[in-house]
Amino acid sequence: MSNHKGHFWRRLQGASLIAPVFLAACCPSSRYLGDGQIASETCWPFSNYSVTFAPLSTGTAQSHKYLIHSLPDLDSVVGFRVITPRPFYCEQFKRAPAAKAVVALRLTSAAGQDVVQHRAALSDWTWNYGGPPNPPRPWEPDQCFLYSRSLYFDPGSLRDLTLQITIEQQAESPIELTPTVKSYAIYAP
C-alpha cells in the first residue's frame, strides 16, 4: 500500500513541474514581440492579453509610433486606457473638457496598408468602464478603455505592424492616454 502512495506522489510531483512550463507556452505573453509591455490577463482556460505602450498627453499636438512585430493569434482591439482625475468617474469624465481632444489612431501593416483606423474627439469614442461604485464610497481613480468598433482586428499572420497615435487637437485640460492592444472574447456557457 505504501508503495502505491509513493508512486502516486511521484507522478503528482512530476506533473506539478511540467504544468507551469505547459501553461507558460500557452499564455499569449510568451508570443509577443515589439514595443510596449504585454501582460496575460488570463491564461487558462481562456487566453487573454493586453499590450500597453508608453503613454502620451493630450496637452500638445503630437504623433507617436510604436512597432509591433507579432501578436498572439487572438481577436484583438486597439484603443486607450485612461485613468480619471479627481473627482471624476469615467461616465462623468467623457463629458469633461479634457475629452474634447481629437485623436487619430492608425494601425498599418509592413506594406503600409491600413489594418484599422479611427479619428474622433475622445468624447465620441466608445467608453468601456464599470461605472461608479454602488453603494457610494470615497473616490478612487477609475480606469476607462476607449475604443471604436472599427478598431477590432484579427492579427492572424500579420507581422511588423506600426501603431501611430496622433493628437490632432489638444485638450484644455490635458490627460494621459495609454495606447493598448488587447484581446477580446465572448464567452458563452
pLDDT, tens digit, for every residue of 16-48? Answer: 444 444 444 455 555 688 999 988 876 655 578
Given a cut of 80, is residue 82 above it in pLDDT? Answer: yes
Provide the pLDDT for residue 8: 58
Residues 63 and 167 sit within 8 Å (Cβ to Cβ): yes
What value does the mean pLDDT of the chain take?
A: 82
Rounded CA separation 179/68 (Å)? 12
Residues 6+ away with beta carbon under 8 Å from 95: 123
Q: Distance of CA 85 to CAs 19, 131, 153, 173, Å?
A: 42, 15, 31, 10
What domains does the chain contain, in order, with CATH numbers? 2-183 (2.60.120)
Higher-confidence position of 189 and 109: 109
Higher-confidence position of 62 and 33: 62
- Average of pLDDT values for 166-187? 88
**Residue carrying C-alpha cell 481562456:** 46
